[in-house]
């Protein structure tokens, strides 16, 4: 179970403030078909976000329908949990802004949703 300590979010805030794009993130978990990150955007008030990239399948001559169905179920669950979804080159990126104080709880919730796709 990964719970990012406040010090980690503080480090991300410092990095975001120093970066050109005013954003910093860390990869929390990487699966065969997904990537889970936590990040911070620096501005007038720092905002924390979770980003989940879900790959829909492998390139090749055959479509793996069961895997595609699992991915769709994950995307539906993330959508109903308040994540915004965008499509780019075979990957759906899901993002949700959260208060830093509940980032750890949201990571656990996201990991539970992703567990069906491992």
pLDDT per position as a tens digit, 21-60: 888 989 999 998 899 999 998 876 677 899 999 998 877 7
Q: What is the CATH number of domain 6-117?
A: 3.30.1460
The dihedrals phi and psi of 57, each to the nearest 5 degrees, come to 165, 180
Task: Tell whether the model's pLDDT for residue 4 goes beyond 50.
Answer: no
| pTM score | 0.84
Residue with tokens 């899901």: 94
Q: How confident is the model at residue 117 (pLDDT cuts 50, 70, 90)?
A: low
Task: Tell whether the model's pLDDT for residue 7 goes beyond 50.
Answer: no
- Is residue 54 a contact partner of residue 41, using CB atoms and an 8 Å limit? no
């Amino acid at each position: 179970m990964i719970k990012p300590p406040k010090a980690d979010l503080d480090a991300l805030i410092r990095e975001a403030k120093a970066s050109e794009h005013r954003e910093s993130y860390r990869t929390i978990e990487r699966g065969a078909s997904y990537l889970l990150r936590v990040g911070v955007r620096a501005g007038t008030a720092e905002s924390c976000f979770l980003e989940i990239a879900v790959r829909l399948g492998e390139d090749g001559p055959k479509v793996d329908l069961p895997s595609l169905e699992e991915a769709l179920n994950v995307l539906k669950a993330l959508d109903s949990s308040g994540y915004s979804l965008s499509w780019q080159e075979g990957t759906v990126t899901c993002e949700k802004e959260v208060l830093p104080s509940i980032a750890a709880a949201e990571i656990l919730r996201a990991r539970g949703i992703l567990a069906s796709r491992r």
